[in-house]
Amino acid sequence: MLNEEVDLFYKALKDTNLLTIEHLTKQYIEKQLSPLVILNEGLIAAMERIGQEFKAQQIWVPEVLLAARNMHRAIEMLKPELIKTKTEPRGKFIIGTVKGDIHDIGKNLVVIMMTGAGYEVTDLGIDVPRERFLEAISQINPDLVGLSALLTTTMLEMENIIKGIREANPSRPKVIIGGAPVTQKFAEKIGADGYAEDAVRAVELANRLLRERS
């Protein structure tokens, strides 16, 4: 996507009028552009700019909240396109953003992509404590659990949750983690089964882990 096009998404994310992002997203869907290109090269690239402005204290939480609201709406519009490839049921997947963390845009994308790939997904939402993960795991008996964190402080909670999961059952479910501050090295350090950089890679990782298991 051209720089000028990313500018359009950036401006639409900052617009208080929800119609701006709706019109723009609709226009790009009608252009038959891949929904993943609209998402990654348009929306996520624009949101990264907003993150940089936030870091530099050029904008404040209300503006970031506005951008998040607009991003949610655009993702809702892309959702039918993103899950078009739905296939046979593959396995059960539980996901949540860990305790202390309320960022959910990336986690919601993982939900959409995993649903589209045929997983039966239970979304525990945001700010999810270890006990809630353990309770859901004992009720649902998932093949995979996904943990998302966007803060360097809350990513530490992932280790605590993984310890709880392993204490209950060392081999099941597989645990995958992700979120902006998370790395492969960190995943290895805390005993996760894998790390995925984005929602598409989360599906690839989940498929690989389940293949290796069987």
- The residues binding ligand B1M (CB under 6 A) are 44, 47-48, 50-51, 54-55, 61, 64-65, 68, 95, 100-107, 109-110, 146-148, 150-152, 176-181, 196, 198-199, 202
When the beta carbons of 8 and 109 are compared against ligand B1M, the nearer one is 109
Distance CA 84, CA 116 (A): 7
State the residue number with the nearest CB to ligand B1M: 106
Smallest distance, ligand B1M to C-beta of residue 106, A? 2
Closer Cβ to ligand B1M, 8 or 174, answer by number: 174
**Using N-to-C axis directions, what is the helix angle for 18-30 and 61-82, rounded to 10°?**
30
Residue of 198, 179, 194 lying closest to 126 (CA atoms): 179
Q: Find the shortest distance in angstroms from Cβ 179 to ligand B1M.
A: 4
133, burial (CB in 10 Å: exposed 0-12, middle 13-18, buried 19+) = buried
Q: How far is the CB of 16 from ligand B1M (least distance, A)?
A: 15
Taking the complex as a whole, how short is the minimal distance between the CB of residue 17 and ligand B1M, in angstroms? Answer: 19
Q: Among residues 142 and 146, whose Cβ is nearest to ligand B1M? A: 146
Compute the least distance from the CB of residue 194 to ligand B1M, in Å.
8
Q: How far apart are CA 111 and CA 95, in angstroms?
A: 8
Closer by beta carbon to ligand B1M, 134 or else 151? 151
Find out whether 78 and 108 touch, Cβ atoms under 8 Å: no
Q: 120: phi > 0 → left, psi -120 to 50 → alpha, else beta; which? A: beta
Pick the closer one to ligand B1M by CB: 29 or 64: 64
Helix (H, G, I), strand (E, B), or coil: what is residue 34?
Answer: coil
